Structure 1
Amino acid sequence: MAYVSYSRQEGPSEADQWADLNWRIPRPDDPLPTSDTKMSAGAAWRAARSGMNAYRAYAESGNAAQLDAAIEAFRRASAGRAGDTPQFSHVNNLANALLDRFELRQKAGRATRTKDLDEALVCAQWAVWGRSGDSPDAARGLATLGRVQKQREASGVLPRRGPKLESVSLRLAAMPSAPLADRVAALRQISRSKPAFRTSFEAIVKTLPRTLAWIGPQGNRRQLARETTKAVDELIGLALYDNNTTRAVELFEASRGVLWDRVVGHSAPTVVRRKAAAVARRMDRAADCLNEHGGAAGLRHMAEPRRRGGQERRADARLRRRQVRQQKIWDTTSSRAHAVLREEAKRRDTGKPEATFLVPDYARDILPAAAEGPVVCVWRQDYRILAFVVQEGHDAPRSLELGHVWGFDEVMEKYLLAIDDVSSETREQTVRKTLEQFYPIFRQLPWYLFGQDYDPADDPRRVWWCPSGLLAMLPLHAVALFSQNVDTKAWLPGEQRGMGAVAWIPDETARRMMASSTCLLDVITSSYTPTVRSLVWAREARDAKATTAGVDESRSPNMLLVTADQESRLESLPGSAGVRKQIQKLIPPNRLSLLSGKLASVRQVLHAFDHHEAVHFDCHSFRDPRNPWRSGLVLYDRPLTVEDLVDRSADRLDFAYLAACATALTDEQLPDEMITLAATLHYTGCPHVIGTLTPSTDRSTARVTRNVYSGLISADGRVNSEECARLLHAATSAERTRLPDHPTAWSPFIHIGI
C-alpha cells in the first residue's frame, strides 16, 4: 500500500489563487495612510469631490500643484471612514494620484524618494481588498495595483512587496468587467507557459466584435478610439508571440475597415438594423451596458466618489447584475442576428452583408482573397517590419520578419514633409533616400512568395499589398536602389520567432535577382487593397456582373469625363489637356459623356455615376489632414468630398481614374482606415481605381495616363478595366526608364482593387 504524506504537499500557488475570481483577496497588513484629522462621511465625500476637481485640472494642464492638492484631498477623504473598510473610490483615486506624482518626479529626475510609491502600493492593496470577484470596481482596482507593481519593478529600487505583477495580471486578464485596453495590458504580463494565457486571450478576442464591429446608438460613427486600435495591435503581437499566425491575421483584418463599413452602410450592424430593427435595438442596449465601466468620465482608472460607501457598493453591484443579464441577451440576439445575415446573404448574389460582426475566419473570409495572387499584409511592431502572406496552396498564413527600420517615425516624418513641399529642392533627394532605405527590406519578397522557380526574367507577377499604419503612405511597389554604395547582399531573415527558420536565398538566385532588378517594379505588378475581404467582395460583384452582361442590353459600355478647365475658374494644364483630347479621340461620341465648366457640379457628377461604367477625373484635389472626410476633388460649384462619395453607390462603375494629386494618400491620424478618395470609390462598389499617393508633375501624370489609355481603350471604344493594373505597371515602368532618378515622376501611381 502506498502512503502519501499530505504534510509535504504544497498548496496552490499565489498566481493560481489570484486567477480564481471567487478567491477572497487577503486583508493588507500595512495600515492605510490617511490624514490625522478625522471627519464625517459627508465631509469626506466633499473632500473627495474636491480632489476629483483638482485631479481633472491637473490632467488638463499638467500643473503639479493641482496634483498635490488632489492627493491631500483624497488623503483627507480616506480618513472619513470608520473601521477597516475604507471607501473604494477614495483609496483607489489616492493610489493613482500618488503614482502619477512619483512618475512626474521621476521624469524630472527628482524621484529619489519612494514614499509616494510605498503609499500607492498600500492604497492599491486596500482598494483591491475592498472589491473582490468580477465587477467594474474590482477591475479598476486591479488595474491600479498592476500599474503600481509594474512601476515598482521598473524602478528597481524597492524589494518585492505585495502580490506579484503576474498574479494580478492573471486575474485582470480573465475579468470580463475590465476594459479592453486594461485586459490586453494585463495579458502582456502573463508568460505564455501559463495555460491561462490562451484562455484569457480567446476570452478577450470574443469581446472584440462588440467593441469593434458593433456600435451602439450613442457611439461616434466616424471615429475609432485610439486606445482600442492600440489594444488590437497589441493583441496581434501577442498572437505572434504565441505562434498563432492565423489568429494574428484574423485580428489584423478585424481591425481594418470597421469605420468604413459603418459609414458606407454595408456593415453587418446596418443590415441587422434594416432587416430586424427589434433585434438591433436589443443589441444596442446590451453593447452600451457591457461597454460601461462606471468610472469617472474621461479619467481612466479613477472611480467616481459617492456620498456613502454603501451607495458605491450598491451601484457597482447593480451595474454588474445588469451586465450579466445583458451578456445573456447579447448572446441570444447575436445568434438571431447571424440568422438574419445568412438569410440576407442567400437572397443577394453578392455584397458585403455576407460579412459578420465576428472576428473573420481565415479559411472562409480571408484565404479566398488570394485566388488570383498572393496578398501581403504589411504591419509594423516598434522598429520591426513584418509581413503576413496570404497565398493559395497554404492553409495557414505565413509570417515574415522583413527587417528593422531604426527611427521609423523620424524617417516617415521627413518623407511626409518632403512630398507635401513640391517646390523644395530637397524633395526628390528625400524621396530617393526613403525608397532606398526600404528597398533592402522588401526586395526578398518575390523569392519568398514564388519559391525556387522564381525567375526575375519572367513577366512581373501579380501581388496585392495591404499595408497598415504609416506604411500605407509609402509606395511599396516602387522601393528602389538608386546608388551602388548601399549594401546589396541578398538575405532573407528568419520568420517570426518560434515559427521556424527560412533558408537563405541561394547564391545563384540572389545574383540573378540583383543583376536584373533594382526596383520592385521590375519583378512585381502591384495592386493595393484597403482590406483583404474587400477583394473577395469585389470579385464576387465582378462575377455577378459578368453573368448579366449579355442580358441587359441597356448597359452599353460608356465613359464619363469630368474635367476642370478655364470655364470652371481653374488652371488648365497642358498635359491634362492632351489626355482629354486622347480620350475624346479613342472613345466614340455616343459612348463618352463630358462634364466640364458649369456642368461639372457635384450633383451632376454623382447622378452620372448611375449611367456610366468608367469615369476619368481631370481636376485638382486637396487633402484635409484634420478631417479626411472633407478631402475632395475641386469641381465647379464646390468640392466633391469623401462624404459625398460615401453617400452614393458606385456599383455601376467598373473603372475610375483620379488624375489628381494625393487621391490615395491616407490620413496620418487614422491610417489603418484608408480614408481616401480612391479607397472610397473602391469601398462603394468600383472594382478598379487608379489614384496617386503623392503630388506629381503635369507632364509625368500625362505620360503615364496616356500610356494607360492607349491599351485600356479598345478599337471600338470599350474600356477593358481588367487590364488596368498591368497597363499602369507598364506605364510607370516606362516613366521610370525615362526619369530613373526622379521617383516622384513614377512612384505615386497605384492601382486599388482587383
Structure 2
Amino acid sequence: MTEAETSPGGLVDRRMALAREWDGLIGRVRKLKGFEDFLRPPRLEALLPAASGGPVVIVNVSRWRCDALIVTEEGVRNRALPDLTLDRAIEWTNTYLGVLHAAEQARHAHQLTQDAVETDPYPATIRAQLRAASAVMEAERRTDDMLTTLQGHLWDSVAEPVLDELGLNRVPPADAPWPRLWWCPTGPLTLLPLHTAGHHTATAGEEVPRTVFDRVVSSYTPTLRALLEARAGRVAGDATTSDNTCSASTPTSQTVADERMLVVAMDDAPGQPRLRNVAAERDALTALFPPGCRTLLEGPGATRGAVDAELARHRWVHFSCHGDQDLSEPSRGGLLLHDGMLSITDLAARRFRGDFAGLSACKTAVGGVNLLDETITLAAALHYTGYRHVIAALWSVDDETAARVFSAVYRDVTTGGRLRSEAAAPALHRAVRALRDDAPDEPRLWTPFTHIGP
C-alpha cells in the first residue's frame, strides 16, 4: 500500500470502498432465487408457521421489564409479566443451581461408598456408606423443597398469566388430544423447568389444578427458526406404514438414515459411578426393537469411533450412559463412552438426519456457572445437529426413575419395531404426569424430563 493509502484519510477511504463493495455483493446475492433474505433477519410471516402445532411462548427477561411474546399462526401478542423481574429470575436460578450441585455431589459421594462396601465390606466402609446415605436424604429433601418453591414462583409469575391469556384454563378431556405449547425462554430462565410450573401439592379439592402439567403438553425450542426447521424436516418414514420390516442398508449423504434404533448402553464408564439400571433400559429397548430393527453398542463396544460411525446410519438413538456438561463452556460437555468423551464439539461438527434421540441418566454439571443468555446442553446440541425430537433430563436423575420413564415412553411410541417420533411429547407427558401423581411432594423425581422439538 502507498503512503497515501496508509494515512488516516486513506484508510477511511479504503474502508468505505470495501463497505460499498460488500453492499454490492450482498445485493447481487439477494437477486438470486431463494436468497432474497440473505443475511437479513427472518421475516415474521416466515416464522409464524412454527406455531402450526400450538402456540410458542417466548419469555423475554430484561432489567426494564419482562413479557411473554405469544406466537400463533395468526401473529404475535404480548402479555406483560409484572411479577417477573430479572433480579428475581437470577436469584431463583442461582438457588436452583446451588442446590442441584450439592445434591449431585452427595449422590456421587454415596455411590463411591457403595462401591467401596462391595469390595471392602468392613465396619469403617459401612459406617461411611451410612453417613453418605444420610447426606443424600438431606440433599433430596432440600431439592424437593427448592423445586416446590420454584415451581410456585414460575406458575405465579409466568405460566398462569400465559395460560390464562391463551384460554388454557381447564383440564382437557381424557379421551381427547391435549393442547400443545412450546416454551422458548431467555436469559436465566433457559435453565429453569417452566414445563412443571405449578402448585402441585396444593391442588386437592381444586376444580382446575394450578399446574402446567394438568392443562397442556409442553415442549421446548431454542428459537422459532429451529422449531420451523424441525417441522419442515419431516421425512417419509414418520408415519407408521403397513410395512413393519426394518431396513439395514447403509445410507448415502442423499438419503435418510435407516429406520432402526441405535442403543448405546454404558453402565461403567471409567472414573464414573456405576449406573445400576442400564441393563433394564437395554432389555426394555431390545424387547421393543427386534435384532433387525436395532444396533446395540455396550460395554467395551461403546467406543467413540463406533458410536460416531453408527449415528449416521440410524434415525433413532438412545443413550443410556453418563454425560457431562459444563454450562460455562458448553463445548467441553459430552457423552462418556468406553474410551473417552464424545463431545458436543464432535457432535456439532456433524450433520445428522435423525428423527429421535433419548438421553437417559446423563449428568449435568450445574454448579459454578455464570448466568447465560443461551445454554447449549447435550440435548440442544443433538437437536441442532439434526435430531428433530430429543427427550432428556435437565440434571442427573436416579437411573431407576429414568429407566421407568423411558421404558413407558418407548412402549407408548413403538409399534412393530418402528418408533413414532411425533408421539414422543405426549408420551413423555403421560409418563411424567403419572410419576408426579404418585409422588407430588418429590418433584426431584419427575421435574427434569423434557422434550425438545416439534
Which range, TM-score by smaller chain? 0.7 to 0.9
* In structure 2, C-alpha distance between the alignment counterparts of 1:355 and 1:636, rounded to whole Å: 45
Letter in 1 for 2:301: L
Confirm or deny that 1:530 pairs with 2:222: yes
Tell me which residue corresponds to 1:369.
50
Post-superposition CA distance 1:647-682 (Å, at most 9, x none): 12221x111000033569899557344312111111
* In structure 1, C-alpha distance between the alignment counterparts of 2:33 and 2:299, rounded to whole Å: 45
Trace 1:242-641 onto structure 2 (pairs within 5 A).
315-339=7-31, 342=34, 356-364=38-46, 366-382=47-63, 384-392=65-73, 394=74, 396-405=75-84, 407-408=87-88, 409-422=90-103, 423=106, 424=139, 425-441=141-157, 442-450=159-167, 455-458=170-173, 460-482=178-200, 515-543=207-235, 554=249, 557-566=259-268, 571-641=273-343
Letter in 1 for 2:395: T
Show structure 1 runs of 5+ residues with no match. Answer: 1-310, 344-353, 489-511
Trace 1:52-91 onto structure 2 (pairs within 5 A).
none
Query: Any conservation in 2 of the 1:464–1:529 contact (CA below 8 Å)?
Result: yes
Show structure 2 runs of 5+ residues with no match. Answer: 107-138, 250-256
Q: How far has the Cα of 1:568 moved from its partner?
A: 6.3
Letter in 2 for 1:723: A
Q: How far has the Cα of 1:635 moved from its partner?
A: 0.3
Query: Any conservation in 1 of the 2:361–2:393 contact (CA below 8 Å)?
Result: yes
* In structure 1, C-alpha distance between the alignment counterparts of 2:381 and 2:368, rounded to whole Å: 13
Specify the SS of the correspondent of 1:387.
strand
Query: Any conservation in 1 of the 2:180–2:216 contact (CA below 8 Å)?
Result: yes
Greater C-alpha Rg: 1
Specify the SS of the correspondent of 1:342.
coil
Distance change >3 Å, CA 666–CA 690, structure 1 → 2 = farther
Post-superposition CA distance 1:427-473 (Å, at most 9, x none): 2212221111121121232231247xx64344531011111111010
Letter in 2 for 1:433: T
Q: How far has the Cα of 1:694 moved from its partner?
A: 2.0
Specify the SS of the correspondent of 2:165.
helix
Letter in 2 for 1:357: L
Trace 1:113-192 onto structure 2 (pairs within 5 A).
none
| Greater percentage in helix | 1
* In structure 2, C-alpha distance between the alignment counterparts of 1:383 and 1:431, rounded to whole Å: 27
Tell me which residue corresponds to 2:438.
738
Q: How far has the Cα of 1:622 moved from its partner?
A: 1.4
Trace 1:194-233 onto structure 2 (pairs within 5 A).
none
Query: Any conservation in 2 of the 1:697–1:745 contact (CA below 8 Å)?
Result: yes
Specify the SS of the correspondent of 1:594.
strand
Distance change >3 Å, CA 545–CA 316, structure 1 → 2 = farther
Query: Any conservation in 2 of the 1:561–1:615 contact (CA below 8 Å)?
Result: yes
Query: Any conservation in 1 of the 2:184–2:220 contact (CA below 8 Å)?
Result: yes
Tell me which residue corresponds to 2:133.
none
Post-superposition CA distance 1:691-712 (Å, at most 9, x none): 1112222222122112111112
Query: Any conservation in 1 of the 2:361–2:399 contact (CA below 8 Å)?
Result: no
Q: How far has the Cα of 1:743 moved from its partner?
A: 1.2
Q: Provide runs of 4+ in structure 1 moved above 6 Å.
A: 664-667
* In structure 2, C-alpha distance between the alignment counterparts of 1:379 and 1:335, rounded to whole Å: 33
| Cα RMSD for the two superposed structures | 3.1
Specify the SS of the correspondent of 1:590.
helix
1:647 to 349, 361, 367: 349
Tell me which residue corresponds to 1:256.
none
Letter in 2 for 1:430: M
Confirm or deny that 1:702 pairs with 2:417: no
| Greater percentage in strand | 2
Post-superposition CA distance 1:604-627 (Å, at most 9, x none): 101101211111100011122442
1:726 to 417, 421, 426: 426
Distance change >3 Å, CA 684–CA 678, structure 1 → 2 = same
Identity %: 34
* In structure 2, C-alpha distance between the alignment counterparts of 1:666 and 1:360, rounded to whole Å: 36
Q: TM-score when scaled to structure 2?
A: 0.80
Tell me which residue corresponds to 1:189.
none
Q: How far has the Cα of 1:744 moved from its partner?
A: 1.3
RCO greater where, 1 or 2, for CA within 8 Å and sep 6 or more?
2
* In structure 2, C-alpha distance between the alignment counterparts of 1:694 and 1:440, rounded to whole Å: 24
Tell me which residue corresponds to 2:114.
none
Q: How far has the Cα of 1:383 moved from its partner?
A: 6.8
* In structure 1, C-alpha distance between the alignment counterparts of 2:150 and 2:28, rounded to whole Å: 51
Q: How far has the Cα of 1:375 moved from its partner?
A: 0.8
Distance change >3 Å, CA 336–CA 475, structure 1 → 2 = same
Q: How far has the Cα of 1:327 moved from its partner?
A: 2.4
Q: How far has the Cα of 1:587 moved from its partner?
A: 1.4
Q: TM-score when scaled to structure 1?
A: 0.49
Post-superposition CA distance 1:411-437 (Å, at most 9, x none): 221111111221325222122211111
* In structure 2, C-alpha distance between the alignment counterparts of 1:426 and 1:687, rounded to whole Å: 35
* In structure 2, C-alpha distance between the alignment counterparts of 1:322 and 1:379, rounded to whole Å: 41
* In structure 2, C-alpha distance between the alignment counterparts of 1:341 and 1:579, rounded to whole Å: 49
Post-superposition CA distance 1:247-277 (Å, at most 9, x none): xxxxxxxxxxxxxxxxxxxxxxxxxxxxxxx
Specify the SS of the correspondent of 2:419.
coil
* In structure 2, C-alpha distance between the alignment counterparts of 1:384 and 1:745, rounded to whole Å: 33
Distance change >3 Å, CA 639–CA 339, structure 1 → 2 = farther
Distance change >3 Å, CA 704–CA 666, structure 1 → 2 = farther
Distance change >3 Å, CA 546–CA 712, structure 1 → 2 = closer
* In structure 2, C-alpha distance between the alignment counterparts of 1:654 and 1:528, rounded to whole Å: 16
Distance change >3 Å, CA 567–CA 644, structure 1 → 2 = closer
* In structure 2, C-alpha distance between the alignment counterparts of 1:751 and 1:662, rounded to whole Å: 17
Give aligned pairs, total. 398
1:685 to 360, 368, 386: 386
Distance change >3 Å, CA 570–CA 584, structure 1 → 2 = farther
* In structure 2, C-alpha distance between the alignment counterparts of 1:482 and 1:404, rounded to whole Å: 20
Confirm or deny that 1:657 pairs with 2:358: yes
